[in-house]
């Protein structure tokens, strides 16, 4: 029998793993078991499909199925739900419709993703409550929107997805109420930065902070979207004995090995190393899913690759704002017992005299000796790509003093002569000097 790799999950991580494995070892038999009907679509694109910015669900597929099956020779089985993983016997059990099947493997890559946390919304039936975590669900919801059946909606949770969904529903002409249990939007930002976003959101939807889905006095709505976070789908591997860490996600080394022999993992079910804290962290994002999937597939197929970790970079479009972060927030630093302060500046995104610029809020979080620990940015332009400068600086272990010396590009249409990053770095460096 030839060697067989089984990949559990056909999302970004799973298809990256499968493709990388076939590239690494073309003789390898690669089977992907995906629980839904679709593989390898842009999960992050669902809000834009709902808003209509993306015209059809087909547009969300990076490649047609044949690219994986015919061109890359991957055996993709959809609607295949894995129910058991036996790392000693080296087999998995999965269900397809009525049938229960067993498949032996020489290596297995767990890319089962994450499942949305469910919240009961009073007075809204299950058929009108959406998590929008799968394409099936998005298609159903888009059907309702296209049919003109949604005049009002409740969004539960004001995280990345909640606000993207609020924007999408507003774009479709809905009257939108957003409730958030916490006292701020975007809990992955520091409150002071989130406040800038909050003001922008309040102008566009009925935003209620410190409020949950059961609070009295909420308007009667046509449907609800629940986006209060996800949990890693790690149970299968955890039950089989794999060690878990933050949020119950699977612990992996830099080669994406779990603690079980012959079992790799990648994507939204793992907690990779956070390079700023030096600890594993659960930050489920598409970029990391793609990268860790590729590493897992390469290594599991006998190749060489490694994933040095994340620095916690993320960006989200919130109506007209670009909202971005990298590293750790001041709140996260304090929770982790890391000495830190935050330096905030607001500066124009372009030369003062060049039209079209707007205010860019920059927060740098820095620790002992001015070491950069994180950054947050909010503005109508210039945040989404500028944050990557700081992500790069974090990877390099720079101080705010090092940032001041960055030779950043300047032309009046794109930035002021002192980029907002340099302004923030100078302000931070002065505080470090004075301390």
Task: Kindly state whether residue 255 participates in binding its own copies, applying the rule CB under 8 A.
Answer: no
Q: What is the largest CA-CA distance in the chain?
A: 71
Phi first, then psi, for residue 426 (nearest 5°) are: -65, -45
Task: Kindly state whether residue 351 participates in binding its own copies, applying the rule CB under 8 A.
Answer: yes
Q: Which string of x and - marks every residue 183-222 that binds its own copies (by CB under 8 A)?
A: ----------------------------------------
Q: What angle do CA 229, 232, 235 make, to 5 degrees?
A: 140
Tell me whether residue 58 or residue 120 sits nearer to its own copies (CB atom). Answer: 58
Among 222, 336, 359, 418, binds its own copies (CB under 8 A): 418
Residue 334 CB neighbours (<10 A): 13
Q: Has 44 been annotated as catalytic?
A: yes
Q: How far apart are CA 7 and CA 298, in angstroms?
A: 12
CB 181 within 8 A of CB 228: yes
Task: Kindly state whether residue 382 participates in binding its own copies, applying the rule CB under 8 A.
Answer: yes
Q: Which string of x and - marks every residue 306-345 that binds its own copies (by CB under 8 A)?
A: -xxxxxxxxxxx----x-x-x-------------------
Q: How many CA atoms lie within 13 A of 427 on its CB side?
A: 18
Task: Kindly state whether residue 414 participates in binding its own copies, applying the rule CB under 8 A.
Answer: yes
Task: Kindly state whether residue 434 participates in binding its own copies, applying the rule CB under 8 A.
Answer: no
| Candidate segments 44-52, 121-129, 197-205, 212-220, binder of its own copies by CB under 8 A | 44-52
Tell me whether residue 91 or residue 414 sits nearer to its own copies (CB atom). Answer: 414
Task: Kindly state whether residue 296 participates in binding its own copies, applying the rule CB under 8 A.
Answer: no
What's the closest the beta carbon of residue 372 comes to its own copies, in angstroms?
Answer: 11
In whole angstroms, how large is the CA radius of gyration of the chain?
23
Task: Kindly state whether residue 169 participates in binding its own copies, applying the rule CB under 8 A.
Answer: no
Among 180, 198, 268, 419, binds its own copies (CB under 8 A): 419
- Token look-up 């971005």 returns 324
Task: Kindly state whether residue 79 participates in binding its own copies, applying the rule CB under 8 A.
Answer: no
Among 169, 364, 393, 425, binds its own copies (CB under 8 A): 393
Among 3, 44, 77, 182, binds its own copies (CB under 8 A): 44
Q: In what order do the strands lie in the sheet with 75-77?
A: 75-77, 29-33, 4-8, 107-110, 263-265
Task: Kindly state whether residue 386 participates in binding its own copies, applying the rule CB under 8 A.
Answer: yes
Task: Kindly state whether residue 435 participates in binding its own copies, applying the rule CB under 8 A.
Answer: no
What's the closest the beta carbon of residue 49 comes to its own copies, in angstroms?
Answer: 8
Give the binding-site size for its own copies (rule: CB under 8 A).
66
Task: Kindly state whether residue 378 participates in binding its own copies, applying the rule CB under 8 A.
Answer: no
44, 174, 269, 380: the active-site residue: 44
| Candidate segments 117-125, 227-235, 288-296, 339-347, binder of its own copies by CB under 8 A | 288-296
What residues are labeled active site?
44
The contact set with its own copies (CB under 8 A) reads 12, 42, 44-45, 48, 53-54, 59-60, 62, 275, 285-288, 290-291, 307-317, 322, 324, 326, 351-355, 382, 384-389, 391-396, 398, 402, 405-415, 417-419, 421
């Amino acid at each position: 029998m030839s060697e067989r790799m089984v990949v559990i999950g056909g999302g970004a991580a799973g298809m990256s793993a499968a493709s990388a494995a076939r590239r690494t070892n073309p003789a390898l038999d690669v089977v992907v078991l995906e629980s839904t009907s679709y593989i390898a679509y842009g999960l992050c694109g669902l809000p834009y499909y709902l808003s209509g910015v993306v015209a059809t669900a087909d547009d969300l597929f990076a490649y047609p199925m044949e690219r994986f099956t015919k061109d890359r020779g991957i055996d993709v089985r959809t609607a295949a739900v894995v129910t058991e993983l036996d790392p000693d016997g080296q087999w998995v059990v999965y269900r397809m419709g009525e049938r229960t099947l067993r498949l032996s493997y020489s290596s297995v890559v767990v890319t089962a993703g994450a499942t949305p946390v469910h919240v009961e919304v009073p007075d809204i039936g299950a058929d009108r409550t959406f998590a929008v975590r799968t394409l099936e669900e998005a298609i159903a919801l888009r059907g309702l929107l296209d049919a003109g059946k949604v005049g009002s909606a409740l969004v539960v949770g004001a995280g990345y997805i909640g606000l993207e969904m609020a924007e999408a529903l507003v774009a479709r002409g809905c009257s939108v109420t957003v409730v958030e249990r916490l006292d701020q939007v975007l809990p992955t930002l520091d409150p002071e930065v989130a406040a800038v976003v909050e003001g922008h959101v309040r102008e566009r939807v009925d935003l209620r902070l410190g409020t949950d889905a059961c609070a009295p006095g909420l308007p009667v709505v046509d449907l609800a979207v629940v986006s209060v976070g996800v949990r890693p789908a790690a149970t299968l591997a955890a039950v089989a004995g794999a060690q878990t860490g933050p949020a119950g996600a699977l612990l992996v080394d830099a080669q994406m090995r779990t603690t079980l022999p012959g079992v790799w993992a990648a994507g939204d079910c793992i907690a990779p190393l956070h390079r700023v804290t030096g600890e594993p962290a659960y930050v489920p994002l598409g970029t990391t899913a793609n990268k860790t999937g590729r590493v897992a597939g390469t290594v599991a197929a006998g190749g060489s690759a490694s994933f040095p970790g994340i620095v916690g970079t993320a960006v989200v479009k919130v109506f007209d704002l670009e909202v971005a972060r990298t590293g750790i927030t001041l709140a996260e630093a304090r929770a982790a017992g890391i000495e830190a302060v935050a330096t905030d500046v607001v500066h124009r995104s372009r030369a003062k005299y060049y039209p079209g610029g707007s205010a860019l809020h920059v927060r740098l979080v820095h620790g002992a000796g001015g070491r950069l620990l994180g950054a947050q940015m909010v503005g109508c332009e210039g945040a989404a790509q500028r944050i990557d400068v700081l992500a790069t600086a974090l990877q390099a272990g720079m101080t705010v003093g090092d940032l001041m010396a960055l030779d950043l590009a300047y032309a009046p249409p794109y930035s002021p002569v002192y980029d907002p990053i340099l302004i923030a770095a100078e302000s931070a460096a002065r505080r470090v000097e004075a301390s």
